[in-house]
Amino acid sequence: QHAEPYAIDITVRDDLSLIAVQGPNAQEKAATLFTDQQRHAVEGMKPFFGVQAGDLFIATTGYTGEAGYEIAMPNEKAADFWRALVEAGGKPCGLGARDTLRLEAGMNLYGQEMDEGISPLAANMGWTIAWEPADRDFIGREALEMQREKGH
């Protein structure tokens, strides 16, 4: 009901694959596979941003606390990109390693450290709340402000 005023379309993209590259020198290693235009597009990109650059969508939305990219690409390009990334020095790892890194970085996983019954403040996610401007209204603001005042 709260989304009704917004014009939102969701498109499932079965034609895309996603490869996440995280850790020391991850961005530099990935950049060796980018075109000049793609390297220029991500230059200086801050965390939690993304850009469409040619046939790649490159984002800095990692879930490890490390610098890196999440790269969406056409399915037919993914296997070659993966092989080239490994040849460039990338080391494959699984979700267990990702979970260790995210825990060390204090990044919560929905359904584990947080869910709809745990407020963002209790989950140490207060940094995700857009408190400004002060008159910005959102669902739950009053309850969160009371929690914040009580130090929870």
86-118 pLDDT, tens digit each: 999 999 998 888 889 988 888 888 898 899 999
Question: What confidence category does residue 132 fall into, taking pLDDT thresholds of 50, 70 and 90?
Answer: very high
Nearest Cα to 98, choosing from 90, 89, 107?
Answer: 107
Question: Which neighbouring-strand residues pair with 68?
Answer: 22
The number of beta carbons lying within 10 Å of the beta carbon of residue 14 is 6
70 three-state secondary structure: strand
Locus of tokens 């407020």: 119
Domains (ranges, CATH) in the chain?
16-104 (3.30.1360.120), 108-152 (4.10.1250.10)
Nearest Cα to 64, choosing from 33, 26, 29?
Answer: 26
For the segment 30-60, what is each residue's pLDDT rounded down to a tens digit? 999 999 999 999 999 998 999 999 999 999 9
- Lowest model confidence (mean pLDDT) among 16-20, 85-89, 109-113, 142-146: 109-113
pTM of the model: 0.78
